Each structure stands twice: as C-alpha cells, then as structure tokens.
Structure 1
Amino acid sequence: MIDRLRRRLDGLPQPVRQRIRRLWLSLVPIGQCAVAAGLSWWIAVNVFDHPQPFFAPIAAVVSMGLSLGKRWRRSVELVSGVAIGILVGDLLVSQIGTGTWQIIVVVALAMVLAVFLDDGPLIPMQAASSAVLVATLLPPGGVAGFHRAIDALIGGVVGIAVGALFPVNPAHRARRDAAGVLATMRDAARKLAGGLRAMDEATVSAALESARGTQEAINTMRADMRGGREVSTISPLYWSSRDRVARISATADPIDNAVRNFRVVARRARGMTQRGEPLHPEIIDIIADIGEAFEVLRGMMIADPGGEPDQADAARVLRSITRRARADLVADSSLSETAVMAEVRSLLIDMLMIAGLRRSSAVATLR
C-alpha cells in the first residue's frame, strides 16, 4: 500500500511533489498549533472566565509556528511584546484618546520601549500590534488590559506545553535534512568527476550549480537541528535522545564547510576545463570516490541507532581515500592543479569530521 502510494507520488510533476512533501512534513506542527490554539482559548474562557480571550490562541499559534526552533524564545518575546503594547496603549490612550496622531505616538513608543528592552525581532512587532488594537478596537485601562496580558501568557505557556507533550521527533527532521544535503553533494561529486574526465565544461558547471543551490537546504538543516535540541531539552519524552541529537547537530558546521570547499573545488575545476587544462586522472578518481563517500555519510545519517553504516564505517571509507590524496601527486603540477588538490584535501578533512573525527585527528590522517 505504502509502496503503491509512493509510486503514484513519484509520477506527479516535481512542483506538486514538493508541495505534498512540504505539507506532509508540516502536518505535526500544524496539528500542534491547532490544538494549542483551541486549548488556550478553553483555558482562558473556562478557567479564567475571560469573555473574549482572542490573545490566547493568537499567542499559542505565534509561539509555536511551523518551525521547531526557538519556540521558547518566541513565547517569551510574544508575551513580552503584548504586555508592552498593552501597557503603553492603556496608559496613553486613556489620556490622549484615539485618532491618527495618537496611533502614531502609541506605536512609536511601544516599539521604542520594546527595542530598548530586547533585541528580539518579535517583541517590537507584537508591542506595536497590541498597542494598535488598544488604540483602535479595544477599551483601554482597567481589568481588560490585565486580562489581555494574562491571555497572552496563557497562549505562550500552552504552546510550550503542547510542544513538550506532543513533540516532533527531534532527530528525524535533522537527519532527513542532513541526508538530503549529502545526497545532493554525492550527485554533484559524481557529476564533477564525469565532467572532468570528458573535459565537458557544461557538466562541470552543472555540478558547481548543484552545490551552490544547497544553501537554503543547509539553512533549513541548521534550523531543524536547533529545533531538535530544543525539543530534546523541553520534552520529557525525548530526554533520552539528547546525546544523539547533539551528535547530529555537531555535523552542521562540517557539512556546511564541506559544501563550501566542494564549491571551490568545482569552481577551480571549471576554470581548468575552460582553459583546456586536464586534471590528473588520479585526482579525478579521488573526486569520484568522494561522491561515493558522500553516499556513505548519507547512509550513516539516516541509519537507525546501532545500524549500518555507522561513523566507523564512514571514517574507514574516508581514510582509504585520504591515503591516496597525497601531496606528491601535484609535486610537478601547475598552480591550478595544486590548488584543486589542496581544496580536495580540505574537503576530506570536513568529511572526516562529519564522520565523527575531531579536526586534529582528521588533519593528522592527511599527514
């Protein structure tokens, strides 16, 4: 059943597949936001007896969002911003009334106070919007203003509680994102090696563009890794996953650096191809093997705990490649070929670090 559904999805146009995949990955956060919004409204109405606590579900949804990362930070910023906006709005509107210039004054003062107190991007926006509501639609002063601040606090707390009690697997997204980047680099390395063998500038350029197109995926990977650490810290259900999430998160910088170094390799290789300079066949073989090593790293990333390939398997494959990436291969080479080899060696250091080696150990392997 699942295989048949997957085949049908694979037959859809690429834009449709991307949208379905994005929706699938967002289903749990969407459910969390919906539950948190309804629960925060119920608590504000039935427990605190607030007549129209619309700030509660708004705060719950904004504090959670679809991103896993910084939910705790968003909750604090939102509650603080709402409180500042209500405070400024209640104090000023009750004295100066409402109107065009009053809104200008209220919004400016609320945002000035918010920026002065904290550098978070959400606080000034929430302070301004809350102040506008008080200055235009809501009666200022009295118990109503206090209720609005409480509603925002309820929403923020409920959002954090729902995220802790019904969490997303903190390691799943991070592993998937990292594996996706590594798969792209696998294909790019294979393409680069093929283009260099054929002296095909178009293929080499395509490999470079593939590597350049990974930045958004890397940014998403980093955000999900931060979110995974946050979930494993807040949610009791995943406290046992902290070490694993930490190990996965430790690959963020090496993966990013490996992609950057590969871009340099591909850019230098393209320059050699444009000038008609052939690259040493053994260096091309090393680049091709790097593509296979990226595949091993991808398999390591998505393997279940205790499964294969693991970090030791990946390190073993990479060590065999580094033994062949000798500096004497370019002892009598041109400056361009020497530069490519130097970047290849730097790339191997990054890949060894993805496999769990410390930088000093990775560098020692190349020596």
Structure 2
Amino acid sequence: MTDAGAQRRLAAVLAEVHGRSRSGAGAGWSRIRAAFGLAMQAGVAAGIAWFVAHDLIGRPAPFFAPIAAVITLASSVGQRARRTVELVVGVAIGIGIGDALILLIGSGAWQIGLVVVLAILVAAAVGGGTPLVVQSASSAVLVATLTSTTGLPWTRFFDALVGGGVGLTVMTLLLPLNPLTVVRRAADPALEAMADGLHAVARGLQAADADAVREALAQLRSAEATFAAFAQAATAARENVAFAPARWRVRGALSQYVEGAAELTYALRNVRVLARRVITALDDKEGMPACLPTAIALLGDAVGLLREEWSRAAEPEATRERALRAAAEAGRAYDEGVGFSGSVVVAQVRTTVTDLLRATGVEHGQAPRLVRRAVGRHARNQAARRNAAPRRRIFVPRRRDA
C-alpha cells in the first residue's frame, strides 16, 4: 500500500472514530437530559423524607424513609400509586414475619434463609407483584440482621409510610414532570422507527430486493420495545396529569398521544404483517403493481407527518390526507391486476390506514368508512370483474360401485 493510500485509510478511520465519539457523547447527553427530572425528584424526595422522619417525627435513624421515597419515584411508570402501596405492604409483611420468627428461633444463617423464604411465599400468596415480594424479602433480612442494633425494627413500617408519602407529594405537587415532554420523548423514536420501516419496505419492494425487506422487518420487530415504552409513557402521563394540577394545561396536547398510543401499536403489528407478505410475494416471484410501493411509501410519509403534527400540538389533518392517499393508491392495484400476496398487501395497507386515522382522533366506526371511500372505485371495479368472469365448471367423476 502506498503512503498516500495509507494516509487516506488512516484519515478515514480517524474520521469514523471521531464521528462515533461525537454520536456517543450526544447520546449520553440526551440520556442525562432525559434522567435529569427524575434525578431532581428523587434527590428532593430523599432529603425531605429524612427531614420529616428524623427531625419532625424524631426517628433516630430513619434510613428506610429516603429509600422508600426513591423507590416510589423510580418504580414503573403509570403504576406509582400501586407500587407505593405494594412497597408499604411488603415492608409490613417482611417486618411482621421477621419479628415473629426471630423471637421464636433466634438469628443466624439458616434463620435468615427461612425468614426470606416465608416472607416471599406470604407476599406471593396475597397476590403481590415484584415490588411487594422484593420488599418483603429485604425487610425480613433487615429485621433478622439489624434487630439487635436498631431497637424497634417495626418502626421501619412508618419510615416506609413517610417515604412513600413524600415521594408521591414530590411527584404530583412539588416537582411534577411535564408529562407531555416525557410522552413525546417516548413517542418520537417509535413513530420514527415505523416510518423508516415503511419507507425501507417500499424501497425493497420497488427494487424487488427481498433481503432489504427482511432487514426492514427485523427493524420493525425491534421497534416493539420502543412502542411498549410509548404505551407505558402514555399511561404514566395520564396518571401524572390527573394528579398534578400544575400540568393540567397540557391535557389537550397530551390527549393526542394518550388516545393514539394503542392504535399505533395495532398499526405496527399490521405493518409487520404487510412486510412479511411482501417478502412472500418477492420470494414467489409474484408480480406486484408499481402502485403498491408508492402506497407503502405514502403510508410511511403519513406516520412521519403524525410525529411532526403531534409535536406541534396541531390537528393531524395532513396525516389523515396522506394516509387516505396511501389507501387510494393501494386500491389502484385492483385495476392494474394483483395476485394473492398483492391483495393481502392491499388489505394490510387499508387496515394500517384505518389504525392511523383512529390514532388521529377519527371515530372508531368512521375510519373504515373513510378508507372504503378512498379505495372506492377500484374495489368496485375488482368486484365487477370478479362477478363478470365466467365460472369454470369442475368435473368430478362419479364413483362406481365395485
């Protein structure tokens, strides 16, 4: 390799490393920004919980109060109130079992193991979730190991009450997160993944490249996690805006995300079915009319427009128009001639358009009517051709008796 070639290769490697480092730093900063609100909530809640339990109530070492406050804030989104109740109940179960058994059998290695086993079984028996089971076990361990040094272990139950109450107060009144910002950060990558996947499927279909469509399908499958995060964020946003008066002003813009999250999850599933059928059509060498990749690309445009219009809190009229254009373009396949897989692709485009319309606020029953109207003439032409086609008679030989 010449010196000039080596220098060019080195420059390319350095440029790639520089680009990766910049993208890594940017991603890290984005994660810091996303976690900053929760970090502030948890820090303030932990400090207040200690102050209330130690300085106001007079507990000498209320270590469980700040822990309970942080656990409350860091629990699963959309279920903080339930998680707080499970936390307190779990602590009560663990402390009660630990107190009773340690008084009867003493403390030691096998006693700790037995206490943990019984605490988990009791928590499971009452139908508790993971937080209740975990807190029951951890509280039982604390009682079994710290009883001799902390005096009255059952007072940790009151620490949990203080910490959980402070956590909920900080979350809803003192430092409520902006639910619109949270849900938008969760929705944007989900919508972007769906739009990119649809555009990739359209390009693969147009180029008759089944491997490209398979790659797009894999990306759409991996987007399931982002859509699950979007759904969780929408659930949490509904809870936060209900209990945080300071955030009531964003209810209108927030309702777009909250009401559309479920319909978009349905749309993602239909898009994956569409991609699988495109792969089948390409593998079978089935002829596909040129209007189908165009319709799929228009569908991707509609998803991208939805992301933009929701971010501006605008009425998603452009999204509806583009989605109905996709349905109409797919309907042209009936006029141009379409095989079995192609007809399935048309049906999936129509179903996805229906999901998108419902996500934009169109009434549940009105959405399919709008799609049928958009497809309209093409579907009627297909039905007319099907009725006019001569029916082939199938000869079935008569069975002769032996």
TM superposition score normalised by structure 1: 0.89
1:318 to 305, 316, 323: 323
Partner residue, 1:154: 162
**Cα deviation 1:6-27 (Å, max 9, x = unaligned):** xxx9874544433332222011
Q: Does the alignment pair 1:206 with 2:215? A: yes
Measured after TM superposition, the shift of residue 311 of structure 1 is 2.3
Verify the 8 A CA contact 2:291 2:332 in the aligned structure 1. no
Equivalent residue letter for 2:54: V
Cα distance between partner residues in 1 of 2:73 and 2:95: 22
Equivalent residue letter for 1:286: A
Equivalent residue letter for 2:101: L
Partner residue, 1:3: none
Cα distance between partner residues in 1 of 2:149 and 2:335: 76
Partner residue, 1:5: none
Q: Compare 252-261 and 59-68 and name the one that shifted more.
A: 59-68
Q: Which runs of 5+ in 2 are unaligned?
A: 1-17, 373-402
Measured after TM superposition, the shift of residue 115 of structure 1 is 2.0
Measured after TM superposition, the shift of residue 341 of structure 1 is 1.2
Verify the 8 A CA contact 1:30 1:66 in the aligned structure 2. no
Percent identity for Structure 1 against Structure 2: 34
Measured after TM superposition, the shift of residue 137 of structure 1 is 2.0
Partner residue, 1:25: 34
Equivalent residue letter for 1:337: G
Measured after TM superposition, the shift of residue 152 of structure 1 is 0.9
Equivalent residue letter for 2:28: R
Q: Compare 89-98 and 115-124 and name the one that shifted more.
A: 115-124
Q: How does 1:325-336 map to 2 (within 5 A)?
A: 325-326=330-331, 329=334, 332-336=337-341
Verify the 8 A CA contact 1:182 1:294 in the aligned structure 2. yes
Who wins on radius of gyration, i.e. which is larger? 2
Measured after TM superposition, the shift of residue 129 of structure 1 is 0.7
Partner residue, 1:360: 365
Verify the 8 A CA contact 2:287 2:338 in the aligned structure 1. no
Cα distance between partner residues in 2 of 1:93 and 1:23: 44
| Count of matched residue positions in the alignment of Structure 1 and Structure 2 | 354
**Cα deviation 1:72-124 (Å, max 9, x = unaligned):** 12211111111111111112212221012322332222222222223322111
Q: How does 1:263-302 map to 2 (within 5 A)?
A: 263-302=272-311
Cα distance between partner residues in 2 of 1:254 and 1:334: 29
Q: Compare 210-219 and 96-105 and name the one that shifted more.
A: 96-105
Q: How does 1:78-227 map to 2 (within 5 A)?
A: 78-139=87-148, 144-164=152-172, 165-227=174-236
Verify the 8 A CA contact 2:263 2:359 in the aligned structure 1. yes
Secondary structure in 1 matching 2:361: coil
Cα distance between partner residues in 1 of 2:24 and 2:334: 45
**Cα deviation 1:30-75 (Å, max 9, x = unaligned):** 1111111111011111011111110101101111117543221221
Q: Which has the higher contact order (CA 8 A, sep 6+)?
A: 1
Partner residue, 1:6: none
Measured after TM superposition, the shift of residue 328 of structure 1 is 6.5
Partner residue, 1:47: 56
Aligned-residue RMSD, C-alpha = 2.3
Verify the 8 A CA contact 2:350 2:371 in the aligned structure 1. yes
Partner residue, 2:85: 76
Cα distance between partner residues in 2 of 1:229 and 1:206: 35
Measured after TM superposition, the shift of residue 352 of structure 1 is 1.1
Q: 1:10 to 1:362 in 2, by over 3 A?
A: farther
**Cα deviation 1:276-302 (Å, max 9, x = unaligned):** 333211122111111211111111221
Q: Which runs of 5+ in 1 are unaligned?
A: 1-8
Equivalent residue letter for 1:162: V
Equivalent residue letter for 1:231: N
Measured after TM superposition, the shift of residue 156 of structure 1 is 0.4
Q: Compare 227-236 and 54-63 and name the one that shifted more.
A: 227-236
2:269 to 244, 260, 272: 260
Secondary structure in 1 matching 2:365: helix
Secondary structure in 1 matching 2:52: helix
Verify the 8 A CA contact 1:174 1:224 in the aligned structure 2. yes
Cα distance between partner residues in 1 of 2:332 and 2:365: 18
Measured after TM superposition, the shift of residue 312 of structure 1 is 2.8
Measured after TM superposition, the shift of residue 154 of structure 1 is 0.5
Verify the 8 A CA contact 1:178 1:301 in the aligned structure 2. no
Cα distance between partner residues in 1 of 2:338 and 2:359: 30
**Cα deviation 1:153-206 (Å, max 9, x = unaligned):** 100000001111201111112123222211222222222222211212232222
TM superposition score normalised by structure 2: 0.82
